[in-house]
Amino acid sequence: MYIFDSKQIPRLLFNMIAPILFWITFIQYEDESISLNLFALLSFGIVFHLFTIFHSNKYSNILIHLNYRLKYLCISFFYSFMIIVLLLLAISDRQFVYDYIVLTPFLLCLVIVGNELIARYEKNIIKIAIIGNSYELSNNDSTLLKNMNIKYTVCEDFDSYNHDETISLVVNNTSNVLEDDKVNYNYKIIDIDKFLESYLRKTTYDKFNSEESNIMRYNYFQFILKKLIDSLVIIFFIPICLVIIPMSFLAVQHQSPGRFIFTQDRIGKNGKIFRILKIKSMHDKTTEKNINDKQRIFPYGSFMRKTRIDEMPQFLNVLFGDMHISGPRAEWIDLHKHYSDKIKNYNLRNNVSPGITGFAQVMFRYGHNEEDAVEKLMFDLYYIKNWSFWLELEIGLRTVMIMLRKKGT
């Protein structure tokens, strides 16, 4: 990918023009400083674009994932910001620099959203070939690959595979381990486990030994950072809760009089049982036998489930130390026992505290059976193994989109 690649023109124009329009919209300045302002902002846009191109070339294999794109967009923004601030300090008045710094968070949001929207129209297709059927791709896997503009073909074995020069990656999905010193191929090959980890962000659950199982936890720094994120998210949501929870109380009492908050025993960290808090979204159970759980959901309860408003009381669970904002789903006791008996290493997800939202929850639908539980376990293990601030940020953004689109359970 080159700086003046025709595919980069929309992104280049946006990065150059957007900061200028943003500045003109929100800042009033004297006429004599217009040329200086335009020069600084135009310089910022060009420098930022150059940094994004550099990162795109260097990290193209991981920028298919949102968390890495967020990371390197922020890094590019930070470098560009520091360069322009130093330039402004040398040639401009301090008031201009102060205004520039104050509006930086809003400008950061603007360039991230703009670059992400433009990226949707840059159809950089990646073609891969999957050899063998040791691991069967699920419908969710196919959807994720499609969303990343990855087209794949499947072949039974290497003997029947005819390499196409447009194929950039071959995945060994056979039961055989290919040794580099015994096999000579003129194309890149990775095994299925690495493919799942790198592209689908799923960690295989049935190949952990005792030592690897012990590292499936947050380290001290990660734990402190997660606690800090939990606290900041709760502080941000306090004003929202003060408005939404009283309104929800009135709506629930109108449609389904009785208790407002209900509790349920769930499995927490290290298998500890705790009581999870939720706003009631279903009518209380009756003696009628022909009414199932779906029929018990009242209209506002359905709205709360889709927007996840019913989970707001779980902020108290976070404060009590039973949960994080993000983590594996807090499972029902009976289901946890069933899955633990049926699925190898299912208990590894209990090495950390459960979350109100989580990576598996935003990457996969609500689980209905054992197959779904396996899918979500693989996402959970990837999350624990590869936890980072940027992955946490991605989960937060995806959760917000689910809430806005009303795609909750």
pLDDT in tens, 93-143: 677 777 778 888 888 999 999 999 888 777 778 899 999 998 999 999 999
Lowest mean pLDDT among 118-122, 175-179, 193-197: 175-179
What are the beta bridge partners of residue 275?
265
Q: Which residues contact 340 (CB under 8 A, 6 or more apart)?
A: 346, 347
Is residue 335 within 8 Å of residue 370, measured between CB atoms? no
pLDDT mean over 296-321:
94
In the predicted structure, residue 395 carries a pLDDT above the cut 60: yes
Count CA atoms closer than 13 A to 387's CA, side-chain side: 22
Confidence at residue 209, expressed as pLDDT on a 0 to 100 scale: 65
In the predicted structure, residue 287 carries a pLDDT above the cut 50: no
Long-range residue pairs from 366-370, CB within 8 A, at least 24 positions apart, any chain: 366/409, 370/339, 370/342, 370/343
Count Cβ neighbours within 10 Å for each residue of 12-34 and write b for 16 or more, e otherwise: bebbbebbbebbeeeeeeeeeee
Residue 30: pLDDT band by 50, 70, 90 thresholds? low
| Higher-scoring residue by pLDDT: 246, 37 | 246
Residue 59: pLDDT band by 50, 70, 90 thresholds? confident
SS3 for the chain is CCCCCHHHHHHHHHHHHHHHHHHHHHCCCCHHHHHHHHHHHHHHHHHHHHHHHHHHHHCCCCCCCHHHHHHHHHHHHHHHHHHHHHHHHHHCCHHHHHHHHHCHHHHHHHHHHHHHHHHCCCCCCEEEEEECCCCCCCHHHHHHHHHCCEEEEEECCCCCCCCCCCCCEEEECCCCCCCCCCCCCCCCEEEHHHHHHHHHCCCCCCCCCHHHHHCCCCCHHHHHHHHHHHHHHHHHHHHHHHHHHHHHHHHHHHHCCCCCEEEEEEECHHHCEEEEEEECCECCCCCCCCCCHHHHECHHHHHHHHHCHHHCCHHHHHHHCCCEEECCCCCEHHHHHHHHHHCCCHHHHHHCCCEEECHHHHHCCCCCCHHHHHHHHHHHHHHHHCCCHHHHHHHHHHHHHHHHHCCCC
**216, 185, 248, 253: which is closest to 352 by C-alpha?**
216
Using DSSP bridges, classify how beta strands 189-191 and 169-172 pair: parallel, antiparallel or unpaired: parallel
Burial class (CB within 10 angstroms; exposed 0-12, middle 13-18, buried 19+) of 168: middle
Confidence at residue 181, expressed as pLDDT on a 0 to 100 scale: 44
Is residue 202 within 8 Å of residue 379, measured between CB atoms? yes
Is residue 309 within 8 Å of residue 248, measured between CB atoms? yes
Distance from C-alpha of 365 to C-alpha of 233, rounded to nearest angstrom: 24
Burial class (CB within 10 angstroms; exposed 0-12, middle 13-18, buried 19+) of 10: middle
Share of the chain above pLDDT 90, in %: 54
| Higher-scoring residue by pLDDT: 209, 313 | 313
Q: For tokens 């407002």, what's the residue?
A: 260
Compute and round to an integer the Cα radius of gyration of the chain.
25
| Higher-scoring residue by pLDDT: 151, 21 | 151
Is residue 192 within 8 Å of residue 173, measured between CB atoms? yes
pLDDT mean over 327-334:
94
Q: What would the two tokens of residue 329 be?
A: 């789903």
Distance from C-alpha of 105 to C-alpha of 165, rounded to nearest angstrom: 44
Distance from C-alpha of 52 to C-alpha of 73, rounded to nearest angstrom: 7
Residue 182: pLDDT band by 50, 70, 90 thresholds? very low
Domain layout of the chain by residue ranges: 6-119, 126-200, 220-405
Model confidence, pTM: 0.89
In the predicted structure, residue 388 carries a pLDDT above the cut 80: yes
Is residue 104 within 8 Å of residue 97, measured between CB atoms? no
Q: What would the two tokens of residue 400 be?
A: 């917000």
**363, 401, 400, 398: which is closest to 383 by C-alpha?**
363
